[in-house]
Amino acid sequence: MIIVTGAAGFVGANLVKGLNERGVTDILAVDNLTRADKFRNLADCDIADYQDKEDFLEALVGGDYDGEVEMVFHNGACSDTMGGDGRYMMDNNYRYSLTLLDWCQAEGVRLVYASSAAVYGAGPGFREDRACEAPLNVYGYSKFLMDQVVRRRWSDLRGQVVGLRYFNVYGPREAHKGRMASVAFHCFNQFRAEGRVKLFEGSGSYGPGEQMRDFVSVEDVVRVNLWLMDHPDVSGIFNLGTGRAQPFNDVACATVNALRAASGEPALSLTDLRGHGLLEYIPFHDGLKGKYQSYTQADLGRLRAAGYGAPFLTVEEGVARYVNWLLAHSA
């Protein structure tokens, strides 16, 4: 059996779908469906069973799954980077993950867990090195602490343990995230509703929409997870981005032009988007000041050295594919 936590969430649901496409259905899906509409992410997936995240942890510690599990993909977490309840964040993200790590080690079960590029804070370095890590919010700190535990135990670990530091992931099955959904998702909905998209004005040394992130398609995130499943000898803490920073303006252009292409209209340049009033810049959110990553770019050296050689989708490629998926799945 394979366990996927956060299975009704963004990355988790895409991973369950990816496992299904390989013919794997003996999956225990673990999540919290207090927000019931998340069930839609699993409606076209095949699983063996579902369990609430609190019931699951109690059953796990109680020995209910001893000897039955091949691998755990741990993607369950509170990902609200603006969340102010540090106690909940640490309990949900750090303590829960630590309990899973302890159980996997005791049982000799392989573990791939979601870390985050939020551990790096404002940068400027984005390589898996303690000198580069300075989280700006409690979410990033909760992920950072888990990585630190894994590092301290490194020489004593049994079997595969991998922490994946996700950069800015976008793609299908993220609608439930609301304001925490990707820039591409919001641009898609804004353009369809209002005929224009909105990005933040400049901040720091960056002009309007010129803040740069490493935007990675969830398709690539799933591919890396499944590659790790095929390579049980690979362990470590790895960045998972494209290795290529692109400005938010690129995401806006890619989204609008994919929608225009679907309507038979020609692509527009950034200058044209601005000139036609299709791109609007709004004031920077006060709650993000001092906690915002204006630039991220994954150093993929360790992942490539571990043997992962597949290319990553560019923003233009990945966003176009995502827009087509959204159009096909829009009510």
Which residues lie across from 285 on neighbouring strands?
Answer: none
pLDDT, position 84: 67
State how far the Cα of 181 lies from the Cα of 268, in Å rounded to an integer.
Answer: 25
pLDDT, position 330: 84
Q: Contact 320/187 with Cβ under 8 angstroms? A: no
Sign of CA dihedral 60, 62, 63, 65: negative
pLDDT, position 78: 72
pLDDT, position 85: 73
- 94, 139, 170, 292: which one is catalytic? 139
pLDDT, position 277: 95
139 included as an active-site residue: yes
291 included as an active-site residue: no
pLDDT, position 83: 62
Q: Which of 53, 57, 55 is nearest to 76 (CA)?
A: 53
Q: Which of 139, 134, 112 is nearest to 124 (CA)?
A: 134
- 17, 50, 88, 177: which one is catalytic? 177
pLDDT, position 210: 95
Question: Can you tell me which residue has the tokens 């390579």?
Answer: 231
pLDDT, position 289: 61
State how far the Cα of 156 lies from the Cα of 237, in Å rounded to an integer.
Answer: 16
State how far the Cα of 147 lies from the Cα of 159, in Å rounded to an integer.
Answer: 16
Low-confidence ranges of the chain (pLDDT < 70): 79-84, 286-291, 331
If 0-12 CB within 10 Å is exposed, 13-18 middle and 19+ buried, where does residue 272 land?
Answer: middle
